[in-house]
Structure 1
Amino acid sequence: MFSFKNLLKVGLFLTLFGLAALVITYFLLRSELPSVESLKNLQWQTPMKIYSADGQLMNQFGEKKRIPLTLDEMPKQLINAILATEDDRFYLHFGVDPIGMTRAVIGQLIGQNKGGASTITMQVARNFFLTREQTYIRKIREIFTAFHIEYLLSKDEILALYMNKIPLGHRSFGFGAAAQVYYNKDVKDLTLAQIAVLAGLPKAPSTLNPISRPDRALSRRAVVLQRMLVTDYITREEFEQAINAPITAKKHGAIIELSAPYAAEMAHQEMIDRYGKEQAYTGGYKVFTTVTSKLQKSAEHAVISNLLNYDLRHGYRGPIMSLRPQGDQHEEIEIVEIDPLNINEIEDALSDIESYPPLFPAVVTKVEEQSIEVTLPNNQVERINWQGLSWAREYINDDKQGPAPQFANEIVKYADVVYVRQQGQQYALSQFPSASSALVSLSPDNGAIKAVVGGFSYKHSQFNRVTQAKRQVGSNIKPFVYSAALENGFTLASIVNDAPINQSNDITGVVWRPKNSPAIYSGEIRVKRALAQSKNVVAVRLFREVGLNKIIPHLASFGFAPDELPRDESLSLGSASLTPMEVATGFATFANNGFLIEPYIIERIEDSFGNIVYQANPAIACDDCSHFDNNSQLTADLDPIPENIVNTLTSQQSSSKEHPLIKAERVISPQNAFLITQALNEAIWGADWSINPGWQGTGFRGRTLKRRDIAGKTGTTNEAKDAWFSGYSRRIVTTSWIGFDDPSRNLGSSSYNKNLDKNQITGKEFGAKSAQPAWISFMRTALADLPVEPFMQPENIVSVRIDKQTGKLTKRTDRTSIFEYFKLGTAPTEYVTKDNSHDIFDNKTQTEEIF
Structure 2
Amino acid sequence: MGRADARRAQGREARRAGSGGTRRLFTWRRILGTFFGLCLLGLGAFAALYAYVDVPAANAQAQKQSNVYKYSDGTLLARSNSEVNREIVDLGVVPKSVQHAFVAAENKSFYRDQGVDLKGTARGVLNTLSGKGKQGGSTITQQYVKNYYLTQEQTVTRKLKELVISLKVDRSTKKDDILAGYLNTVYYGRGASGIQAAAQAYYGVDAKDLDTSQGAYLAALLQAPSQYDWANATPSGKKLVKERWGYTLDNMVDEGWLDQTERDKMTFPVPDSPKAAPGMEGQTGYLVEAANDEMKRQGITDEMLDAGGWTVTLNIDKKKQKQLVKSVDRELESQLDRKNSKVDATVQAGATSVDPKTGKVVALYGGVGATEHYISNATRRDYQPASTFKPLVLASALENGSTTQDGDLIGLDTVYDGTSKRPVVGSDIPFSPQNEDDISYDDPTVRTAMDKSINSVFAQMVVDVGPAAVKKTALAMGVPDKNFPETPSLTLGTMNASTWDMAGVYATLDNHGKKVTPTIVKTAEHRDRTMEPVDGVGGQVISRASADTVTDALTEVVDIGSGREADTSAYDAAGKTGTSENNKAAWFTAYTPELTTAVALFGESTADGGGQVSLTGTANSGRANGGGFPARIWADYTLGALGGGSDATFDLRGVERGETAVTETTPPATPSETPEPSETPSKESESPSASPSETPSEESPSAETPSESPSWTPSGTPSTTKDPEDEEEPPGERPGSEIDQ
TM-score (norm 2): 0.67
> CA 1:502–1:135 in 2, change beyond 3 Å: closer, same or farther?
closer
Within-5 A mapping of 1:536-555: 536-555=455-474
- Identify the range of structure 1 (219-228 vs 598-607) with the bigger mean alpha-carbon deviation: 219-228
Establish whether residue 263 from structure 1 lines up as the match of residue 137 from structure 2: no
- 2:503 alignment partner in structure 1: 584
- 2:596 alignment partner in structure 1: 733
Contact 2:187 2:194 in 1 (8 A): yes
- 2:734 alignment partner in structure 1: none
- 2:70 alignment partner in structure 1: 51
Report the secondary structure of 2:443's partner residue: strand
How far did 1:437 drift? Answer: 0.8
Establish whether residue 279 from structure 1 lines up as the match of residue 304 from structure 2: yes
Establish whether residue 462 from structure 1 lines up as the match of residue 382 from structure 2: no
Within-5 A mapping of 1:480-495: 480-486=392-398, 487=400, 488-489=402-403, 490-495=410-415
Q: Distance in 1 between matches of 2:468 and 2:556?
A: 29
Within-5 A mapping of 1:522-537: 522-537=441-456
Amino acid at match of 1:263: L
Establish whether residue 476 from structure 1 lines up as the match of residue 400 from structure 2: no
Q: Distance in 1 between matches of 2:579 and 2:125?
A: 82
How far did 1:683 drift? Answer: 1.3
How far did 1:749 drift? Answer: 6.1
- 1:791 alignment partner in structure 2: 651
Cα shift readout 1:552-609 (whole Å, capped 9, x = no counterpart): 3343333335653244433223333322222223223322222333333223221238
Within-5 A mapping of 1:51-200: 51-62=70-81, 63-68=83-88, 94-101=114-121, 103=123, 115=135, 118-131=138-151, 139-150=159-170, 161-167=181-187, 172-174=192-194, 177=197, 199=222
Cα shift readout 1:347-381 (whole Å, capped 9, x = no counterpart): xxxxxxxxxxxxxxxxxxxxxxxxxxxxxxxxxxx
Amino acid at match of 2:602: G
Establish whether residue 616 from structure 1 lines up as the match of residue 533 from structure 2: yes
- 1:496 alignment partner in structure 2: 416
Amino acid at match of 1:601: I
- 2:552 alignment partner in structure 1: 678
- 2:564 alignment partner in structure 1: 700
More strand, by proportion: 1
Q: Distance in 1 between matches of 2:155 and 2:578?
A: 72
1:767 aligned residue (618, 626, 629): 626
Report the secondary structure of 2:68's partner residue: strand
- 1:304 alignment partner in structure 2: 329
> CA 1:178–1:583 in 2, change beyond 3 Å: closer, same or farther?
same
RMSD: 5.2
How far did 1:271 drift? Answer: 3.8
Within-5 A mapping of 1:319-398: 398=343
How far did 1:704 drift? Answer: 1.3
Amino acid at match of 1:475: S
Contact 2:65 2:309 in 1 (8 A): yes
Establish whether residue 29 from structure 1 lines up as the match of residue 29 from structure 2: no
- 2:543 alignment partner in structure 1: 669
Contact 1:593 1:670 in 2 (8 A): yes
Report the secondary structure of 1:523's partner residue: coil
Contact 1:478 1:539 in 2 (8 A): yes
How far did 1:528 drift? Answer: 1.1
How far did 1:676 drift? Answer: 1.2
> CA 1:744–1:675 in 2, change beyond 3 Å: closer, same or farther?
same
Q: Distance in 2 between matches of 1:87 and 1:73?
A: 18
- 2:521 alignment partner in structure 1: 602
Q: Distance in 2 between matches of 1:98 and 1:500?
A: 94
Contact 1:260 1:296 in 2 (8 A): no
Within-5 A mapping of 1:3-14: 14=35
Contact 1:594 1:673 in 2 (8 A): yes
Establish whether residue 747 from structure 1 lines up as the match of residue 616 from structure 2: yes
Amino acid at match of 1:142: E
- 1:442 alignment partner in structure 2: 354
- 2:15 alignment partner in structure 1: none
> CA 1:220–1:108 in 2, change beyond 3 Å: closer, same or farther?
farther
Q: Distance in 2 between matches of 1:133 and 1:750?
A: 59
Report the secondary structure of 2:502's partner residue: helix
Which structure has the higher relative contact order (CA within 8 Å, separation 6+)?
Answer: 2
Amino acid at match of 1:725: F
Contact 2:476 2:541 in 1 (8 A): yes
Q: Distance in 2 between matches of 1:76 and 1:591?
A: 53
Q: Distance in 1 between matches of 2:438 and 2:108?
A: 88
Contact 2:414 2:681 in 1 (8 A): no
> CA 1:251–1:8 in 2, change beyond 3 Å: closer, same or farther?
farther
How far did 1:726 drift? Answer: 0.9
> CA 1:271–1:27 in 2, change beyond 3 Å: closer, same or farther?
farther
Structure 1 unmatched runs, 5+: 235-241, 319-394, 399-431, 622-663, 686-695, 752-761, 800-822, 833-840
Amino acid at match of 1:679: A
> CA 1:191–1:484 in 2, change beyond 3 Å: closer, same or farther?
closer
Contact 1:200 1:221 in 2 (8 A): no
Amino acid at match of 2:390: K
> CA 1:547–1:276 in 2, change beyond 3 Å: closer, same or farther?
closer
Q: Distance in 2 between matches of 1:505 and 1:763?
A: 34
How far did 1:436 drift? Answer: 0.8
Amino acid at match of 1:773: R
Structure 2 unmatched runs, 5+: 1-21, 251-267, 404-409, 606-611, 660-672, 683-714, 726-741
How far did 1:793 drift? Answer: 0.7
Amino acid at match of 2:67: M
- 2:675 alignment partner in structure 1: 825
Cα shift readout 1:630-681 (whole Å, capped 9, x = no counterpart): xxxxxxxxxxxxxxxxxxxxxxxxxxxxxxxxxx2x3323222121111111
How far did 1:767 drift? Answer: 1.0
Amino acid at match of 2:419: A
